Homo-oligomer: A and B are copies of this chain.
């Protein structure tokens, strides 16, 4: 058996089911090995940002890694921005990067680059195969590292001759490390803080925004009268009517500071004290109120579920007060032109139960931010690392992981253009994704930021670097050209019809909204 086949056998034994791929010559034996194993589903992306973003979405929904098959340094380079987002989400990811044959590297052929340097700069763990006999072991260790709780970026480098050579070895079944233990003294300390008379907040994050964690948080908040919050951008957040509302702190630093002002104790579970997205002249980076007591009970690597259970036991939490639970009452718009006022409630009213939402709406996010809590329960996936071009790929991978659930992608036009090739993969695999493009013809967030960084006098030349209005992109034609049916909707009726049609029809669709 060649080592590529042995690697695939090892990974399949450990649970591999999907490979997102954009291979090249140096990966041909891996391509052949994938071909030999029908247990694995290969999915082609026409650009590596699609591959890594889809793997992140798959992983956030399935809880386990896909493998990304990438072509040398440049293939990894293209994948890096969405690897970055996955790294910040702490999702399990296994990159399999082909390299030149070991003996060929010395010749500095055109595709030779500092692959190891790129891998180290983008991954949490890097392994390199040195021979056909170690490839399975490197692969098994890579799989184990990827699944170290809650997940990390694991990259294995596979020289072509290490894949094509013969081997007898087979890699082991591996067991990934679970969450790190929580310090019981910190739980005690947190309990005292939350049950004091001071203004307190329980601040959740990481993997602890699932329904069970939300319920525990709701009970703790009811028992202690603390407030609840989470990070601006989260990996996977269960939201909707009937579920405890754990609100995201605002994106802009001054709004976040205001949101947190007056809080005297903050207890963190699954995350750390919030910081501003960017620095601004004369503004604070660290957002928690000065003098507030910050108790980090569990960081992202620790057993936050255990911490929440202990806290709730100490609080003797039983019920959740209705003020923490959205009512589900939506004032559904019936007709008229689409507007920033009616789009939020309209979309919230139309989201089916158990939808997966991939959200990279950018500045258009404010349109529905206050309404989603009243939608039916859904999973909300955000752009965790701030690197745009994640929304459509993540929706693509989510739909692979959950073929029977509706997937909705809310995507700003700036980010959409980064990884628009994802639409082609959605069409090819007939994935149930309804893509909504918010077309404001600009990097609108940057037009806001240009003001915020400090009263810069600028004119049309600066604006030209932040706007997409010339030429205007025809999203409907663009989508159709890549095999995804599309409509532009201007009224409540049009949107409702197209959105429901998208949700009820097999395969992907796209709706352009002009904002």
Contact = CB atoms under 8 A, between A and B. Distances in A.
Interface of A: 21, 23-26, 28-29, 31-32, 34-36, 38, 42, 44, 46-47, 49, 69, 73-75, 77-78, 80-81, 84, 87-88, 100-101, 103-104, 107-111, 113-114, 117-118, 120-122, 160-161, 164, 233, 275-279, 281, 285-286, 384-387, 389, 414, 417-418, 420-421, 424, 427-428, 445-446, 449-450, 453-454, 456-459, 461-462, 464-468, 470-478, 480-483
A42 B77 contact: no
Given A32-B458, A77-B80, A104-B285, 16 more contacts: A24-B446, A31-B466, A35-B458, A42-B465, A46-B468, A47-B418, A74-B385, A84-B113, A88-B110, A100-B279, A110-B385, A110-B386, A117-B121, A424-B473, A473-B482, A475-B481
Contacts of A122: 77, 113-114, 118
Contacts of A474: 480-482
Oligomeric state, in copies: 2
Nearest to A34: B461
A56 to B, nearest CB: 13
B285 A384 contact: no
24 contacts: A25-B277, A28-B453, A35-B461, A38-B461, A44-B465, A44-B468, A47-B417, A47-B418, A74-B80, A74-B386, A77-B80, A104-B279, A107-B286, A110-B385, A113-B385, A117-B120, A161-B281, A164-B453, A417-B421, A420-B420, A427-B471, A473-B482, A477-B477, A477-B481
Nearest to A161: B279
A380 B440 CA distance: 39
Shortest Cβ-Cβ A-B pairs, 8 listed: A117-B121, A471-B483, A77-B80, A74-B387, A101-B279, A35-B462, A104-B279, A478-B481
A35 B77 CA distance: 30
A144 B301 CA distance: 45
B276 A31 contact: no
Contacts of A31: 450, 458, 462, 465-466
A25 B446 contact: yes
Nearest to A77: B80
A474 to B, nearest CB: 4
A164 B454 contact: yes
Contacts of A36: 457-458
A78 B49 contact: yes
B111 A29 contact: no
B233 A110 contact: yes
A104 B277 CA distance: 9
A69 to B, nearest CB: 8
Contacts of A161: 279, 281
Given A122-B114, A278-B109, A462 B103 contact: no
Nearest to A421: B417
Contacts of A471: 424, 427-428, 482-483
A108 B26 contact: no
B456 A28 contact: yes
Contacts of A466: 23, 31, 44
Contact of A77 (B23, B77, B117, B384): B77
Contacts of A461: 34-35, 38, 42
B74 A462 contact: no
Contact of A32 (B417, B450, B481): B450
Contacts of A279: 100-101, 103-104, 160-161
A34 B462 contact: yes
A113 B387 CA distance: 11
A477 B483 CA distance: 11
Contacts of A286: 107
A5 to B, nearest CB: 10
Contacts of A387: 74, 77, 111
A387 B118 CA distance: 15
Interface centre among A74, A109, A387, A476 (most CB of B within 10 A): A74
Nearest to A37: B461
Contacts of A108: 275
Contacts of A69: 465
A500 to B, nearest CB: 24
A445 B49 CA distance: 21
B88 A81 contact: no
A470 B103 CA distance: 37
Contacts of A481: 473-478, 481
